[in-house]
Each structure stands twice: as C-alpha cells, then as structure tokens.
Amino acid sequence: MTTTENEDALLLRDLIAGDEWAFSELYRRRRGEIYRFAFAMTRSTALAQDVMQDVFLRLLEDATRFDPSRGTVRAWLLGCARHVVLDRLRAEGRWAADAAVDDGPSTPCPAEDAVFTEQRLAQLHAAILSLPVEYREAVALCEIAELSYAECAAVLGCPIGTVRSRLHRARALLARRLADIDDGEAPLRRVNEVCG
Amino acid sequence: MTRRPIEELVIGYARGEPMEVEERERLRAECSASAAVASDMRAQEDLTRRLAALRDAVRVPKSAVVDDERLLEAFRAAHARRATSRRRFRRGVGAAGIAASVAAIAVVGMLHRVDDGGRAGAPAASASDRAVDASAEQGPALAVFHALPFSPGVSPGASYSVVRVRIPVSSFPVVHAIEPYTSVEADILLGPDGIPAAIRFVDPEEVFVTAAADSKER
C-alpha cells in the first residue's frame, strides 16, 4: 500500500470515529477523480456532480463496510461511483451511448483554437460514450481516473487480464473511430458555425 | 516469459507502461518493418495525448463546492445518529445484563407456578403471569414473552427491540438445569427507554428444575 493509500485508510478510520476534518480531507482528495470518472461515463456535469455527492453520502452510511483486503479506499469509492452511475444511467434510460449532452461550447465565444480543441475533446468523449459500457468503464477508470489495472479490477470485480483486454479493445476502437473522424467523416465545425 | 502480441505492446508503450528491454526492441523492429504497426503506434500515442487533454479538461465545477457544506452537515447528522445508536446498544447490553438477573427471578416464579399448577385459590395474576403474545413476530417454535416482575408491562403500539442473551444456569440461585445445559438462551424485550420489559426462553422451559422439585424427586 502506498503512503497516499495508507493515509486514505487512516482518514476513513478517523471519519468513522466522527472526525469531521478527516471526512473533508478525504472528500477533497478523492472528489476530483470521482467527478472525472462520472463525467467520462455520462458527459453530464449535473449527473457527475450528483454522483460525486451520492458517493460521499453513501460513504457516511457505509464507511464501516470498507474491507482493506479487497482494495484501496480510492478503488472502493470509485466502485461506489460506478454503481451510482450505472443506476442513474439505467434509471434515465441512457444505458446505451447517446448524444444527450448537456455541455455546449463555453460562452462567450472562445478563440478559434480553443473551439477546435474543445471540439476534438467533444469528439473523443462522444467516441468514448459510443463504446459498450464495459469498455467505457475501463477507459473511464484507467485513463480518466488513472487507476492501475489492479485497482480497476477491484472496482469492476473481474481479473486484471479482463481489464487489460477490455481497455485494449476499447483503445483500438477509439483509435479507429478518431481516425474516421480525422479522415473527414465528421469534420470540425468552424467558430462561426458554433457561435452563430 | 510469454510472448505478448504486438498490439498489446503498442498500447502498453503508448500508455507508458513499463516494458522489458527485449519487448521494446521487438516493438521497435516491428515499427520499422511494418507501416501498419507504425501507424497503429502513432494513433495510440495520439489517443494517449487526447485522453490526457480530456482528463485535464474535466474539473469539478465551482458550483459543486457550494454543496460541500451540505455534505458536512450530512456527516454531522450521520455521526450523531451513529453515536446515538452506539449509546442505545451499550444501554441495551447493560440492560440485557440486568434482564438476565431479573430473568433468574422470573424463572423461579414461573417454575413455582408450574409446581403449584393444580392448586385452587391461586393468587391473582402478577406481572410475571401476563404472557405477552409475540406470535406475530416469532416463529411458531418459540415460546411467548413473559412480562418481567416490576416491569411497567408491554404497551401496544410502543416500539421494542429484542436482544438475545445467554444466561449461565449458575446465576439462578434456586433453579437447576437438566444435563447437558450449563446456560440457557433467552430473548429480552427492551422497551423504548432501554428497560427490559419481557423475556422468552429460546431453550425449552422444561430444562429447568427447581431446587424444591429436585429434592422431592430425590
């Protein structure tokens, strides 16, 4: 266990004992990756924020259920986030990839470079959302939340080899999809098209 | 060492994963020899850059910070709830101890009644005579609850909790148990105030023999 993981475990122990600072500190440390994971899975800021809050509300109730022999606190929190995300996607009928995205280009109208960068990121994100959900999870956990294969395996409850093969297939699909886009299947819109 | 497929090496390299020198050399050779592998490598490296840019672009919005205080309030409330339930539990365990002692008296009372069963002119029902029908809650195999002496009784509609205790038979001064019982299991019904109100024995009541009955048999 690394120092950070050890610190997480200590924070969890202290928050169970009622230490408010420990709770704030764990929240401050881990909310970013939970938000990033949820956003990568849904591309909705509102939903990602809800997931982040839900995970920490669940933590208040279930902190004592954490079992260090089954993984790190970080993996456990992301495992909770995964369940919340999947529940929400099911409930909202957004299980399959869709184009229901609530994040348009930022206003006021940005410079052309920024628009292109934003569009390229949007294309990548759309490509991630078009992946089957198990591949999407692997990308969101390993690439966006930056979990190791072992941590990701703990979150998904599957062997490391499965995580590796899912991620590799996902990356191969993403690379092909982005190559299609770059070859002109979905050309980038210019600033005046975006901003009207 | 197992020879990994070249696609795996390409992705591993593009992700910056640690790689054996031998594998790195093999990858380099494949990239030089095959335009397709070299193209895959470029695509994967580009994908890694784009994923990093996406990761960096995703930030927790400032509006989420407003909810931090709400979370802290939830934390305080949850902790207060846990503390209350821990206190209740401790009180319950303490009460169960008291209940075990009271149970000894109850058992004696019950068995004396069994001894005097057929006698006419039995005294008016005492608190311990009032059996509390808990059949809705328990399985058919379990006995009914007996109200404990000096307890305020069981009021319908009030909320009770059940604590299972194991009572050593040695704690019953005038009661013996038949072999091989050295202790008996009982459920204590705790009132909303944590005070034991009634008891039922999980082990059959026939395991008890009063000292009087015992000496009579001898």
pLDDT digits (tens, 9 = 90+) for B3-55: 888 999 999 999 999 989 999 999 999 999 999 999 999 999 999 999 999 99
Domain boundary among A61, A95, A129: A95
Residue A47 domain-assigned (yes or no):
yes
Q: What is the pLDDT of residue A196?
A: 47
Residue A100 domain-assigned (yes or no):
no
Q: Do B64 and A36 touch (CB under 8 A)?
A: no
User: Do residues A193 and B36 lie in contact, with contact meaning Cβ atoms separated by under 8 Å?
Assistant: no
CA distance linking residue B69 with residue B118, whole number of Å: 70
Query: Which is more confidently placed, A159 or A94?
Result: A159
Q: What is the pLDDT of residues B155-183, one digit of tens each?
A: 767 778 888 887 777 766 556 666 666 77
pTM across the whole model: 0.60
Which residues of chain B lie closer than 8 angstroms to A27, CB-CB? 68, 71
Q: Are residues A91 and A114 in the same domain?
A: no
Q: Are residues A120 and A165 in the same domain?
A: yes
Which residues of chain A lie closer than 8 angstroms to B11, CB-CB? 167-168, 171-172
Q: Are residues A127 and A196 in the same domain?
A: yes
CA distance linking residue B180 with residue B146, whole number of Å: 25
Q: Are residues B118 and B183 in the same domain?
A: yes
Query: Which is more confidently placed, B207 or A6?
Result: A6
Q: What is the pLDDT of residue B125?
A: 40
Lowest mean pLDDT segment, chosen from A154-168, B53-67, B195-209: B195-209
Q: Which domain holds residue A66?
A: 1-95
Nearest CB partner across the interface for A31, out of B51, B53, B60: B60
Q: What is the pLDDT of residue B53?
A: 93
Q: Is A29 on the interface with B (CB under 8 A)?
A: no
Q: Do A49 and B51 touch (CB under 8 A)?
A: no
Q: Are residues A59 and A115 in the same domain?
A: no
The total number of structural domains in chain A stands at 2
B78 has a pLDDT exceeding 70: yes
DSSP class of residue A131 equals S
A72 has a pLDDT exceeding 70: yes
Q: Which chain A residue's Cα is nearest to B6?
A: A168
Nearest CB partner across the interface for B50, out of A53, A61, A120: A120
- Single-letter amino acid code for the residue at B169: V
Which residues of chain B lie closer than 8 angstroms to A31, CB-CB? 60, 64
CA distance linking residue A95 with residue A79, whole number of Å: 18
Q: pLDDT > 70: what percent of chain B?
A: 52
DSSP class of residue B144 equals P
User: What rounded mean pLDDT belongs to chain A?
Assistant: 83
Query: Which is more confidently placed, A160 or B198?
Result: A160
At residue B89 the predicted structure's pLDDT band, cuts being 50, 70 and 90, is low
Residue A102 domain-assigned (yes or no):
no
User: Do residues B99 and B166 lie in contact, with contact meaning Cβ atoms separated by under 8 Å?
Assistant: no
B142 has a pLDDT exceeding 70: no
Q: Which domain holds residue B160?
A: 93-217
DSSP class of residue A142 equals I
Residue A8 domain-assigned (yes or no):
yes
A105 has a pLDDT exceeding 50: no
B195: left (phi over 0), alpha (psi -120 to 50) or beta: beta
